[in-house]
Structure 1
């Protein structure tokens, strides 16, 4: 009886420790993913503004907007700016299909994407 009570208490203690570790792990993950990154957001906004200005300069010179952002380098930009996050899924995106040229990036993972439509000179936000 004493032996089974000690064993039960150890299992309860181990379960409580694992639960606490899991809760702390989830909280840390949520903080890393959802924390505000003001410097990254400001960098992305400045990068978007420089891309928009370069696209307008490209249009003034060539009579059209670029089909891909790499057309801006090196004549209009020394290199493409970084978005808030790096990588093909989260960096700056540029869609030149459907008769519109739309610049965007990921502000909050997995959603929250500001975008700018060059033809309409307007900002929008996809949620």
Structure 2
């Protein structure tokens, strides 16, 4: 599961990318929200946007990436693939910047379907 979380912990985008082999339903959301506190503590202390694996729940890992605008990209996964996850986050970050610089973009109406397709394409390229 992949989630983009904006300021004030508002979810902006959510996608199931197949990074977890077994179906655990809404537990992914609880795992990500539990890891948000860790991300908020570590982000100001790190000079890197990519924070690597910030939390672990049973056999699931949570990796995070924090943009300069404090938008958190969080991924729940069950395999270690640090380079692939980092490249996935970088590509998604570039797509976020492109989407948000569009004058017709409205955060409250969510990201366009083209953005969703690009996220899933990046997941296939780097994560699966």
State the structure with more CA Rg.
1
Q: Same fold (TM over 0.5)?
A: no
Structure with higher RCO (Cα < 8 A, 6+ apart): 2
Query: So what's the TM-score if we normalise by structure 1?
Result: 0.29
